[in-house]
Amino acid sequence: MTEIDSRTEAALKGVVNDLVAGWNRHDPVAFARPFALDADFTNVFGMCAKGRDTIVRFHAPIFETIFKDSLLAATETTIRMLRPDIAAVDLRWEMTGARDPLGNDWPMRRGLMNLVVTREGASWLIAIMHNMDLPDESLVNAQKKLSPA
């Protein structure tokens, strides 16, 4: 495992901040900007988008409908350098103000984004993103009792 220096850590946290800021502006172009041109994106429903342009087109309609009033917050970011030019970034998140795909209010959500971020010249870009909803905290606590670490 490669150690992370403060400049790289700041750059990777900047990728996360840009992603969250683009979401909260409900701007599909700004949201997709931190992704590599050939990025792979998978949402919480297992739906995939390949490439930055497709990620923009994928998010445009949902930012105008079910997520138009949503607010995304990054609650915890963990970075592991795999190589000097590749990082695994886990982003725990919370979201309020969303509607589910059927149009119903979607209570506060918690989830995890797993990002593979690569250095492309002077920039860091998301090559792969998998997103998932996390279960209710009571289920998490019950599982912790069954599987203590």
Tens digits of pLDDT across the chain (149 residues): 678 999 999 999 999 999 999 999 999 999 999 999 999 999 999 999 999 999 999 999 999 999 999 999 999 999 999 999 999 999 999 999 999 999 999 999 999 999 999 999 999 999 999 999 998 887 777 888 888 77
Name the one residue in this structure whose structure tokens are 């970011």: 77
Class of domain 6-146: alpha beta
Q: Identify the pLDDT of residue 1.
A: 66
CA distance 117 to 79: 10
Name the one residue in this structure whose structure tokens are 């996390």: 134
Contact 131, 141 (CB under 8 A): no
